[in-house]
Structure 1
């Protein structure tokens, strides 16, 4: 783990023993540079110190092993599947406050308050500016059309982001239709699923495929990387919708740990995350969309285009995770 203090230099002992210097301890799957503007603002406003431990993996396993001894008060992560994994493991606790329930739309938080969406991201299509006309990509269902044969790139179908999209397809059309759709998308792949979302855009730039599936914020990450900016400039973002629905969205989210020792300060931090100030800071730092009404995405994100978010509740999507993984393996999507 790497540790980052937003108010003063601390040692790893802060998160390996009972917290002394930090008032709120966070386990995070989000890189420190993406959340430090947010934690800096919280400390400046409240005087409450924040200590962040960044984990590459194994957050839930660590929390289970630590049990009541865990120093973590809050977890920050991405994707509804990872949030519900923490809930299912029993390492979070309900948190329902007036501030949170009034700010966050119902579809973006757990019914019992065990998790809260902080920002949203859309899973969209990156399309070649040279080879795909504007308006040619219309729906997720359309990706199985043979007109795209040999033209699609994507990461592994078993990755959490792809499983969430397949789960949303099941929520709209049922398992059998989703399986047929996956078979169609697989038949249209230009190459075996591999790499991350940015690797797919690189493949479009290189002429290996014409469209790819990816999360919106990767456009910002590529634009900020001198080695990848050419990839970003070779594509535009298309916002497909489900037939009878909208564009698939997922979240970055937060939860209060069951073992939280600094309960009151942790609640203040979580409530701060849904304030207009924090929403715009966090969304801009991550090239994502605010979750609360009234807060605006950055000018750069707005320039990528507008869309209508799908209204399927994230809890419904999470309920189909197991089926989505099963049918992805049945069609041997990555094979």
Structure 2
């Protein structure tokens, strides 16, 4: 553990230590940003009377849990992607979420088969296409990105990023490792530039003509289209069409933000109540409105922006546990084909 993480661990003890055994408290380690999580926690406290203590961090939370061990004050782990949930399982940092409410609220594809994590919101990894240079229907599947016709026309962030490892993992699960490697190598040959930046940066590159198609998560479109602080991002969003791939086959690849119950949770009952609340109709509506993500709970109305710009689409219904188990293999393939070089 580096000095920064050691300091943060100390802060966790000082923040949570005095209340860790209180029945009306729940302690949260969150990778998700405060602007999204704070309103949900306030609503949870208003409904249940349980105080929610939370520490936000972009990194280091799993390392902190490992360091704290059985003395950890953490009850719940919130993540912005399925990758850290898988890592938490691999590091044996979580316990089963035994809740019939969670099982009823969240479809099986968005839950760990052994109940060690649960999805809270969903997003699709889609293909952004130039309105000016790509005709509708010209590209229809992830596999099409490997077609030589797209040579010098594809942009993406690093193949090692969790979002792309998840997509590659889905191709491994559906097509096998050999075909996934062939696909990844062919996509690398079609790149317009070395993988770089974030998902918004790929859309910017499309608008500027550096490439014609790009991979990106759906919720970034909403963030760009409504970004009044950086209005140039509105123009980035307006320059592209949104393509949900593989609509005549398995459907568009999905991923999640999610939650897990900490292995040594001092307040497990309160923790389960929080996770159940986050899958409730009230919380799912809040998620959908604030961050332009899809509710995982069926029947929850999408935000107006999603309904207007994304419409109905076919989602890949494979269990994400069967996808995320291929992360290490996906990472190895990224290195093997020199994707990021």
Alignment TM-score, normalising by the size of structure 1: 0.93
How far apart, CA to CA, are the structure 2 residues paired with 1:19 and 1:131? 58
What secondary structure, in the 3-state scheme, does the structure 1 residue paired with 2:195 have? coil
- Residue matched to 2:222: 220
What secondary structure, in the 3-state scheme, does the structure 1 residue paired with 2:180 have? helix
Residues 186-210 of structure 1, C-alpha deviations (whole Å, 9 max, x = no match): 1111100000101111111111111
- Residue matched to 1:67: 69
Q: Is the 8 A contact 2:28 2:55 kept in 1?
A: yes
How far apart, CA to CA, are the structure 2 residues paired with 1:19 and 1:261? 10
Length, aligned pairs only: 326
User: CA, structure 1 residues 92+46, in 2 after alignment: closer, same or farther (shift >3 Å)?
Assistant: same
Aligned pair 1:24/2:30, yes or no? Answer: no
- Residue matched to 1:238: 243
Aligned pair 1:289/2:294, yes or no? Answer: yes
Q: Is the 8 A contact 2:26 2:53 kept in 1?
A: yes
Task: Give the deviation of 1:103 after TM superposition.
Answer: 1.4
How far apart, CA to CA, are the structure 1 residues paired with 2:39 and 2:306? 18
Q: How does 1:27-38 map to 2 (within 5 A)?
A: 27-38=29-40
Task: Give the deviation of 1:15 after TM superposition.
Answer: 2.9
How far apart, CA to CA, are the structure 2 residues paired with 1:212 and 1:158? 16
How far apart, CA to CA, are the structure 2 residues paired with 1:66 and 1:215? 34
Residues 252-295 of structure 1, C-alpha deviations (whole Å, 9 max, x = no match): 10011012112211111100111111111112212100111111
What secondary structure, in the 3-state scheme, does the structure 1 residue paired with 2:19 have? coil
What secondary structure, in the 3-state scheme, does the structure 2 residue paired with 1:162 have? helix
- Residue matched to 1:125: 127
How far apart, CA to CA, are the structure 2 residues paired with 1:119 and 1:224? 20
Residues 33-73 of structure 1, C-alpha deviations (whole Å, 9 max, x = no match): 01122112111211221122111111111100011111111
How far apart, CA to CA, are the structure 2 residues paired with 1:105 and 1:261? 28
Residues 275-329 of structure 1, C-alpha deviations (whole Å, 9 max, x = no match): 1111111122121001111112111112222211112211111221121111111
User: CA, structure 1 residues 86+153, in 2 after alignment: closer, same or farther (shift >3 Å)?
Assistant: same
Give the unaligned 5+ runs of structure 1.
2-10
Q: Is the 8 A contact 1:127 1:237 kept in 2?
A: yes
- Residue matched to 2:7: none
- Residue matched to 2:190: 188
Deviates more, 1:14-23 or 1:277-286: 14-23
Residues 152-201 of structure 1, C-alpha deviations (whole Å, 9 max, x = no match): 11000111110110110011111111111011111111100000101111
Aligned pair 1:311/2:317, yes or no? Answer: yes
Give the unaligned 5+ runs of structure 2.
5-10
Task: Give the deviation of 1:14 after TM superposition.
Answer: 5.0
- Residue matched to 2:262: 257
Q: Is the 8 A contact 1:141 1:242 kept in 2?
A: no
Cα RMSD, aligned residues only: 1.7
Alignment TM-score, normalising by the size of structure 2: 0.91
Q: Is the 8 A contact 1:37 1:282 kept in 2?
A: no
- Residue matched to 1:99: 101
How far apart, CA to CA, are the structure 2 residues paired with 1:268 and 1:34? 19
Q: Is the 8 A contact 2:16 2:53 kept in 1?
A: no
Deviates more, 1:256-265 or 1:116-125: 256-265
Deviates more, 1:164-173 or 1:44-53: 44-53
Q: Is the 8 A contact 1:18 1:71 kept in 2?
A: no
- Residue matched to 2:326: 320
Task: Give the deviation of 1:13 after TM superposition.
Answer: 6.3
How far apart, CA to CA, are the structure 1 residues paired with 2:14 and 2:222? 33
How far apart, CA to CA, are the structure 2 residues paired with 1:87 and 1:224? 36
Q: Is the 8 A contact 2:247 2:313 kept in 1?
A: no
- Residue matched to 1:15: 15
How far apart, CA to CA, are the structure 2 residues paired with 1:181 and 1:243? 19
How far apart, CA to CA, are the structure 1 residues paired with 2:13 and 2:319? 40
